[in-house]
């Protein structure tokens, strides 16, 4: 079509085909968002820490999304979910930890819920009253990785890495100790109880204790552990004893340990060495003899006051202890007896001064030596160790006048002959005396004495009736004779004067004889020649 001549001419538009691969700018925004999201997702995956499951008895203090997991009071994870197990007996807490916590998850890593607790005299978790409960974590020492754990019901007493060593104690019962109870060495607190378990057979308990360094070096192979709880009051043959360890031990209980002064093995004990836990210090510090023989004493008297553990002494030295007390009936003799079994320590007869030896045994064979002692009167005897408590002990002593006896080696254990105790001997003597007195015919003697008294009474009456008058006359005559004699011997009487003159003459005569004797002593020749004056 022709254009009018007065209008301008426009160029004709040409159509251009668009490229199929050209990207619209509007699509760049979602593409960048996808890239950023992917990168963040990859980063989240790369930065994500390990996930662990922890089993607890109860979910107290656990809350999904809020309960933290802390190591050395630093957050290392958070609980994501808390669910029950299929059997509804436990609680499973699933937690996500930080990436750098992967190396902490080893086989012996421990988890526990930190909440306010009072146990063994220690108070923990007070800060959770304001901040809320959290899960505590302690890194193990093993290298094998693990992702499922069983949480502790009680927080551990000590964390891994604390210098010191752990030991095992075997006891008959727990006493008054608990997890966290202190352990003392010379009344200085050096450790604590970490765990306890009942033995599989129910015969006792096993305790694990931790002794802090450097005090763990004082635990030797011969070290003794004992219960140091409360106040220990005991009555034995030596009297009343009261022992305490410390005020803390009195209030919350505890244990103590020490090595005896005569310990044989003084090398340090290795980790997890097993020790026996004694009930008291006196029992723990008793000498632990390596050689123990068993004997039995067969008593026919009452053993009231004799208890298991009572000492067996030889001249004041403890050489054994009572281990069991039984009763026995002899159908042949038809009598009862009390067999007392003892643990005898032959090493205690050894002299520490002999040849410079610290230990040893008797040089003779024990059987022959025992027979030799019994032949010379060695006997077992019950004696009173404490008049206040009435407790008895067994004394080994020589009785040369005891009836002859021998060792009964056929019995098991061998039987050592006995002799009645002092009180029993006195009782037997009194019984024998009473028996002899019962044999005296007191009734017949009384009748004879009554008859004698009647005869004496008759005689006295006879004397009073017949003899008394004659006796009265005789006495009067005797009194008259005495009066006459008194008159005769008075100082002014004639006989007295004559007697005085006679005595004077006798005195003069004696003086003359004395003079003559002295003269003849000086002049013996006068007996032949006479006095010189007479010769003139």
Residue 341 is predicted with a pLDDT of 92
Residue 119 is predicted with a pLDDT of 59
- Same domain assignment for residues 275 and 191: yes
220 touches 268 (CB < 8 A) = yes
In a domain, 352, yes or no: yes
pLDDT confidence band for 352 (50 / 70 / 90): very low
- Domain span at residue 525 reads 494-529
14-18, 198-202, 306-310, 349-353: least confidently modelled range: 349-353
308-317: b or e for each residue (b if 16 or more CB lie within 10 Å)? eebbbbbeee
Three-state SS for 375-391 is HCCEEEEEEECCCCCCC
- Same domain assignment for residues 322 and 210: no
Domain end marker among 418, 436, 454: 436
Residue 12 is predicted with a pLDDT of 66
The residue-averaged pLDDT of 278-295 equals 81
The residue-averaged pLDDT of 252-260 equals 84
Residue 491 is predicted with a pLDDT of 64
Q: Tokens representing 136?
A: 């505590």
In a domain, 396, yes or no: yes
- Same domain assignment for residues 87 and 195: no
- Same domain assignment for residues 244 and 319: no
- Same domain assignment for residues 422 and 387: yes
Strand partners, 381: 395
32-68: b or e for each residue (b if 16 or more CB lie within 10 Å)? eeeeeeeeeeeeeeeeebbebebebeebebbeeeebb
- Same domain assignment for residues 132 and 201: no
- Same domain assignment for residues 96 and 181: no
- Same domain assignment for residues 505 and 406: no
Q: What is the DSSP letter of 272?
A: T
- Same domain assignment for residues 412 and 356: yes
382 touches 394 (CB < 8 A) = yes
Helix (H) or strand (E) holding 84: strand 74-84
Q: What is the DSSP letter of 349?
A: G
Residue that has been written with the tokens 């159908």 in this structure:
331
What is the value of pTM for the model shown?
A: 0.52
Residue 154 is predicted with a pLDDT of 79
Q: Count of domains in the chain? A: 4
Strands 148-150 and 51-56: parallel
Q: Which residues, 6+ apart, have CB-to-CB distance to 316 below 8 Å?
A: none
Closest CA to 257 of 324, 326, 193: 193
- Same domain assignment for residues 269 and 322: no
Q: What is the DSSP letter of 24?
A: P
Chain segment 463-513, per-residue pLDDT in tens? 666 666 666 677 677 677 666 666 665 666 666 667 777 777 777 777 776
Strands 74-84 and 68-71: antiparallel
Strand partners, 95: 52, 79
- Same domain assignment for residues 267 and 307: no
The residue-averaged pLDDT of 219-241 equals 72
């Amino acid at each position: 079509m022709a254009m009018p001549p007065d209008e301008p001419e426009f160029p004709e538009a040409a159509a251009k085909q668009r490229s199929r691969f050209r990207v619209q700018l509007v699509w760049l925004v979602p593409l960048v968002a996808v890239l950023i999201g992917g990168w963040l997702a990859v980063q989240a995956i790369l930065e994500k820490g390990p996930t662990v499951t922890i089993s607890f008895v109860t979910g107290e203090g656990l809350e999904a999304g809020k309960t933290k997991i802390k190591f050395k009071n630093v957050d290392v994870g958070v609980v994501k979910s808390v669910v029950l197990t299929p059997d509804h007996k436990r609680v499973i807490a699933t937690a996500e930890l930080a990436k750098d916590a992967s190396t902490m998850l080893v086989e012996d890593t421990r988890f526990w819920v930190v909440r306010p607790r009072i146990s063994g005299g220690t108070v923990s978790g007070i800060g959770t009253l304001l901040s809320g409960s959290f899960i505590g974590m302690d890194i193990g020492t093993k290298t094998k990785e693990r992702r499922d754990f069983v949480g502790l019901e009680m927080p551990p007493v000590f964390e891994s890495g604390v210098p010191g060593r752990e030991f095992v104690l075997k006891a008959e019962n727990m006493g008054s100790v608990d997890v966290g109870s202190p352990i003392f060495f010379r009344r200085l607190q050096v450790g604590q109880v970490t765990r306890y378990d009942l033995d599989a057979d129910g015969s006792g308990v096993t305790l694990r204790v931790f002794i802090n360094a450097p005090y763990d070096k004082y635990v030797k192979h011969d070290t003794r552990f004992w219960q140091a709880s409360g106040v220990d009051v005991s009555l034995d043959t030596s009297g009343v004893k009261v022992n305490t360890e410390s005020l803390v031990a009195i209030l919350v209980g505890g244990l103590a340990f020490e090595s005896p002064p005569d310990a044989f093995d003084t090398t340090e004990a290795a980790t997890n060495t097993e020790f026996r836990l004694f009930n008291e210090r006196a029992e723990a510090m008793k000498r632990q003899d390596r050689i123990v023989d068993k004997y039995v004493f067969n008593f026919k008297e009452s053993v009231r006051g004799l208890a298991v553990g009572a000492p067996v002494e030889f001249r004041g030295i403890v050489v054994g202890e009572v281990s069991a007390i039984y009763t026995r009936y002899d159908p042949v003799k038809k009598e009862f007896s009390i067999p007392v079994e003892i643990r005898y320590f032959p090493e205690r007869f050894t002299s520490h001064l002999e040849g410079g030896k610290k230990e040893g045994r008797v040089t003779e064979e024990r059987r022959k030596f025992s027979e030799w002692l019994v032949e010379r009167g060695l006997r077992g005897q019950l004696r009173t160790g404490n008049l206040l408590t009435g407790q008895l002990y067994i004394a080994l002593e020589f009785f040369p006048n005891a009836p002859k006896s021998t060792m009964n080696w056929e019995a098991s254990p061998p039987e050592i002959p006995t002799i009645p105790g002092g009180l029993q001997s006195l009782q037997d003597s009194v019984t024998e005396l009473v028996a002899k007195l019962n044999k005296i015919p007191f009734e017949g003697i009384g009748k004879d004495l009554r008859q004698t008294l009647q005869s004496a009474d008759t005689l006295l009456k006879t004397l009073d009736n017949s003899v008394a008058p004659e006796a009265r006359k005789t006495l009067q005559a005797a009194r008259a004779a005495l009066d006459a004699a008194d008159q005769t011997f008075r100082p002014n009487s004639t006989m007295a004067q004559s007697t005085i003159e006679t005595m004077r003459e006798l005195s003069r005569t004696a003086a003359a004889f004395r003079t003559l004797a002295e003269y003849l002593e000086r002049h013996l020749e006068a007996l032949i020649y006479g006095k010189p004056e007479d010769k003139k």
